[in-house]
Chain A
Amino acid sequence: MLIALVSTVVFFTVIAVVVTSSPSWALVQQDFFDPAVFWAYLPVIAVAFLTNIALFMLVEVLVLILGLLVAVARGLPGPVFFPLRLLAIAYADIFRGLPSLLIIFILGFGVAGLGIPGVPNDPFFWAAVSLTLVYTAYVSEVYRAGIESIHPSQAAAARSLGLSQAQTLRFVVVPQAIRRVIPPLLNDFIGLQKDTVLVSYIGLVEAFRTANIAQASLFNYTPYLALSVIFLVITLPLTRLTDYLVARDRRRLLAGAR
């Protein structure tokens, strides 16, 4: 305990000394750590961050529902459902294999630019569509792993009671699968929350874009620091919660509790 404390203090002291004694420290300090700029722009960026929050909350709900549907479609048995299975696999593979930014560009500029009547060209709409498509692909894989981790004897028990295949999924397999995949789902949500800044590229004025505009007009990078702080306030608790849940599951598994 004491050794850890001493080594931590020494470590960070050395880092601090090295950084602050570097030749351009004064310049960097002024450009990145200007307290006046920080406090002036933190509220502005925080307000813009509400757009990011609205975006990821909407997308999270959509992804939770659609991801489950894709995972279930992929697990449907029998030759009748082959086209549906194929479609689900192709979708998950393609959207996991492309950079999110590319999809945002293609949909946000390309499809929106087609000007199809009735299809909105609001950047928020296309931002939500792009992120939903990308993250549904990831989350469907998480769900699928969860569904496959439920021992077949559970389905056998349900079927033996007369429950149909669909009822077995709905009442027995999926509820257990979801409990198991909550930690990896939260991980994907952290990724999604960070990726909301990518939609600034199709013209949505959200937190990153706001910080970007401020930086360009001030020739000072401190607004980015303000945004970083805002992000950490959101993502750090979620990261800690995820790690806690993972550790708890591991303990349970070791105790043989389920």
Chain B
Amino acid sequence: MSADFVRIEGLHKRFDKLEVLRGIDLAVGEHEVVCLIGASGSGKSTLLRCVNLLEPIDAGRILIGGSDITLADVDVNQVRRGIGIVFQAFNLFPHMSVLDNVTLAPRRVLHRPRPEAERDAGELLARFGLADKRDEYPDRLSGGQQQRVAIVRALAMQPRLMLLDEITSALDPELVAEVLNVVRELAAGGMTMIIATHEMGFARDIANRVCFLDAGRILEAGPPEEIFSAPTEARTRQFLDRVIAAGRM
């Protein structure tokens, strides 16, 4: 078995007639940060949702730490414990305080006693500048704060892999930096991450490797300096030119 922590082989996914992923092969090493870029609808989000088993796949396999998580007899709840995912729309639980959002899974899934779970959650919240928000409800927080809580909520399960699905796309521009800084801190701490993003400058900074997705395939992959400065595929150049024209880079 390969030393890659995540290994995706020949992944296909279709929604009815629409084939969203058409043979994805991707390997991610431990502590590696891979950014997925590409136009909306290119399959970035679907790929991340497949890795977290939120979408059943049609063909191919996904190995995490060497074991195939797409086999029929796999305990999906067990698999998901080790994988954190953060969504574009935050998806905090609106009826729970910040603290309860963060401690729900450690308490109910890992059966950790409440005081212990709350102590750890408090430390995580403090680390990301949210110590004073622990008793607030999500609707009292800014978008940036909500998204940082969502990241903390995922981290509370001590995942070995984080999947970030366009986590700044729903934010006002002035709130993007605070969320990206959290991700930078995670990368510095050695977290393995697969990040779907439209923030090209951020991708260039943080990624060990950038994958350009086009129509359900990884058209081009390589170190950020290569992809952003000297892409070999015409489609990649075209996409990057449009991004630059839109002032996003």
Contact = CB atoms under 8 A, between A and B. Distances in A.
Contacts of A154: 91, 93
B131 interface: no
B93 A160 contact: no
A158 B108 CA distance: 11
B54 A153 contact: no
B80 A175 contact: no
Contacts of B91: 153-154, 156-157
B99 to A, nearest CB: 14
B75 to A, nearest CB: 10
A240 interface: no
B77 A153 contact: no
Nearest to A175: B95
Interface residues of A, number: 19
A119 interface: no
B210 to A, nearest CB: 24
A176 B95 contact: yes
B87 interface: yes
A160 B108 CA distance: 13
Interface residues of B, number: 25
B167 interface: no
A157 B93 contact: yes
A161 B153 contact: yes
Contacts of B157: 161-162
Given A160-B52, A171-B104, A257 B109 contact: no
B139 A161 contact: no
A47 to B, nearest CB: 42
B154 interface: yes
Contacts of A258: 94, 139
B221 to A, nearest CB: 26
A87 to B, nearest CB: 28
B66 to A, nearest CB: 20
B108 A171 contact: yes
B95 A179 contact: yes
13 contacts: A153-B87, A153-B91, A156-B91, A157-B91, A159-B76, A161-B104, A161-B153, A161-B157, A162-B77, A162-B109, A167-B109, A172-B93, A258-B94
| 10 nearest A-B pairs in the assembled complex, by CB-CB distance | A161-B105, A157-B91, A162-B81, A162-B109, A162-B80, A160-B85, A153-B91, A162-B77, A176-B95, A175-B95
Interface of A: 153-154, 156-164, 167, 171-172, 175-176, 179, 257-258
Given A156-B87, A258-B94, 8 more contacts: A153-B87, A157-B87, A157-B91, A161-B154, A162-B78, A162-B80, A172-B104, A176-B93
